[in-house]
Amino acid sequence: MSKPYYLTTAISYPNGAPHIGHAYEAIAADVMARFQRAQGRDVYFQTGTDEHGLKMAQAARDQGMAPGELAAKMSQLFIDMCDALDVTYDRFIRTTDEDHHKACQAIWTAIEEKGDFYLGRYEGWYSVRDEAFYDEKELKEGEGGEKLSPEGTPVEWTVEESWFFKLSAYQQPLLDHIAANPDFIQPTSRRNEVVSFLESGLRDLSVSRTSFDWGVPLPGSEGHVMYVWLDALTNYITGVGYPDGGDKWDKYWPAACHLIGKDIVRFHCIYWPAFLMSADIALPEQVYAHGHLLGEGGIKMSKSLGNVVDPKQMWERYGVDALRYFLMREVTFGQDGAVGEEALVTRVNAELANSFGNLAQRTLSMIHKNCDGVIPAAGNASEDKALLDDVMAAATQKLPEAFDRWAFSAGLEAWLAAVYACNAYVDTMAPWALKKTDPDRMAEVLGTLAAAIQPLALALLPVAPTGAQAILDQLKSGEGGQPIDKPTPAFPRLELPEQEA
Ligand code: MSP
């Protein structure tokens, strides 16, 4: 039995409705979770919302709500999004959950007992949007001469009493860990970025706040709430039973992978492993940082440019399978990439509807009409065997090898090449012509195609679960010599909505 597989996404700030980047991360993680389950692994998959901190407190104040009220309302939208997108999470964690408070206090106590905290005074720059402290030397200048974080967000000068974590003591242990575990940070470009940041030296980290109270209160430190990133990162161990341990903990920790976006690499690849080392908790096996989705033309999405893609509009207009397939296929995972409705419609029509959907629909219709609905045996001619060999190599080797290393688009490309090979085979064999001249051969050709479609649908299942399952069900209805049900298209053609005047 292969090792259990614990997979997490970043937990989102529920200060607004989910955007396409959140949908992207949830879908990618779900594709991996479904894929690993199909490989026979025992998967635990966690996602959720990050509800404390100044950013949430300020968003709530702006909307005239209590932070807890805003968090509850918006968190529900993230749950609804996951459910709408067929995301098969095992737990949706909210950092306001009771067990999470307990885990936060426990990791705090463990680090304290290690002697890694000291009381001091933070004086420096803080970005509320990133919930991050920055060094003066990291800041850049905005268009109006104002100071901005490396992420381009506003920073404010902050002075307050604070607990500090001895992050500087972990510089060498982190470098050693990364050197000894080349897959710990992926893709490699992100690992290199982390290594050079580490080599430039680490400063101790402020890990409590005293100027507001929306957070986990610190055990024994009146007026201090835990820095929101220490709180948020701890969700990964809360979800599997920290600090009590138990079956889940024994089975699933350390996590197989934390999937995150490229903007939060520092928190996951430096702060989090340092906290874990200090608390004597094993480190996750991997942190994988995906790229960011950009608007059409490769421009960063922003409300002011009006190019923000609404995920809900996408799945309501085009369907969940189409959105999932498009996002996994369009952008090389790990890199940034532009997305938009036109690109979605073009790609989904070409690849899912016309190439694969139509192949299945044509084949099953011909079997339904011309073979009394009974799926014939595959042929034994060299072309038949060559096609099935190609299909099996793509569906059971190339796609799985690619998916296993998060290369979704490359995996789907190999899958698509096999779909094209099936379509070329149909054109050459012309079963509709064989119907009159050689019905036995027609039956072999249709049987070969049915035998090819089955593993192709199975391979597609993690990405486009509803349509792929519909094809598998249609094939299954013909098991044991039963006639198959009259087929209906599993991947309909899409159309862009009429241009609004
Ligand atoms: N709350 C923190 C994460 C804490 S994890 C312990 C956070 N939240 S977030 O809501 O800002 O982002 C959640 C995830 O969405 C992050 O992994 C982030 O990279 C990802 N994305 C945000 N915008 C994105 C795109 N435009 N494209 C792809 N992913 C994007 O950070």
Q: What is the DSSP annotation of 124-153?
A: EEEETTTTEEE-GGG-EE-TTS-EE-TTS-
Please answer whether residues 348 and 322 qualify as being in contact, where contact means their C-beta atoms are separated by less than 8 angstroms.
yes
Tell me, in angstroms, the distance from the centre of ligand 1 to residue 22's CA: 6
Dig out the tokens for 482 from the structure: 């039963």
Model pTM above 0.95:
yes
Stated as kind and residue range, the H or E segment containing 68 is helix 67-84
Q: What is the pLDDT of residue 329?
A: 98
Q: How far apart are CA 21 and CA 27, in angstroms?
A: 10
**Sign of the four-CA dihedral 14, 20, 23, 29:** negative
d(CA 242, CA 250): 10
Angle in degrees, 0-180, between the axes of helices 320-330 and 311-318, rounded to the nearest 10:
120
Q: What is the Cα gyration radius of the chain?
A: 26
CA–CA separation, 397 vs 414, rounded Å? 10
Residues of the chain with pLDDT under 50: none
Q: How far is the CA of 446 from the centre of ligand 1 (A)?
A: 47
| CB within 8 Å of 9: residues ≥ 6 apart | 25, 26, 29, 46, 47, 259, 260
**pLDDT of 306:** 81
The angle that helices 439-460 and 358-370 make with each other, rounded to 10 degrees, is 140
Tokens, residue 288 = 């994988």
Helix 382-393 and helix 439-460, axial crossing angle in degrees, nearest 10:
10
Q: Where are the beta strands (DSSP E) in 249-323?
A: 257-261, 287-290, 293-294
Which residues lie closer than 8 Å to 64 by C-beta, 6 or more apart?
Answer: none
CA 131 distance to own-chain centroid: 22
Residue nearest atom 8 of ligand 1, based on CA coordinates = 12
Residue 90 has, within 13 A of its CA and on its CB side, a CA count of: 17
Q: Compute the distance from residue 358 Cα to the ligand 1 centre, in Å.
A: 37
309 close to ligand 1 (CB < 6 Angstrom): no
Token pair for 425: 């085979």
Residue 233 Cβ < 6 Å to ligand 1? yes
Nearest C-alpha neighbor of 338 from the set 282, 291, 367, 298: 298
Contact assessment for residue 395 and residue 459, using Cβ atoms and an 8 Å cutoff: yes
State in Å: Cα 260 to ligand 1 middle.
7
Residue whose C-alpha is closest to residue 52's, from 155, 128, 162: 128
Sign of CA pseudo-dihedral 212, 218, 108, 61: negative
Q: Retrieve residue 56's tokens.
A: 């949430």
Angle, CA of 77, 209 and 157, to the nearest 5°: 100
Q: Is the dihedral of CA 147, 150, 152, 158 positive or negative?
A: negative
The token duo for 33 is 């979770």
387 C-beta closer than 6 A to ligand 1: no
Q: What is the pLDDT of residue 308?
A: 85
* Cross-strand bridge partners of residue 162: 120
C-alpha 423/C-alpha 228 separation (Å) is: 53
Do the Cβ atoms of 143 and 119 come closer than 8 Å? Answer: no
Query: Tokens for 251?
Result: 């089975």
Q: What is the pLDDT of residues 457-483, one digit of tens each?
A: 999 999 999 999 999 999 998 888 889
Residues in the chain: 501
pLDDT tens profile 81-120: 999 999 999 999 999 999 999 999 999 999 999 999 999 9
Phi first, then psi, for residue 37 (nearest 5°) are -60, -40
Among 87, 233, 292, the mutation site with the greatest number of ligand 1 atoms within 8 A of its Cβ is 292
With beta carbons less than 8 A apart as the criterion, state whether 170 and 278 touch: yes
Cβ–ligand 1 contact at 11 (below 6 Å): yes
27 lines ligand 1 (CB under 6 A): no
Whether residue 122 has its Cβ less than 6 Å from ligand 1: no
Sorted by where each starts, the structural domains of the chain and their CATH numbers stand as 5-290 (3.40.50.620), 341-475 (1.10.730.10)
CA of 7 to the centre of ligand 1 (A): 16
pLDDT at res. 302: 80
| pLDDT of the residue at 360 | 98
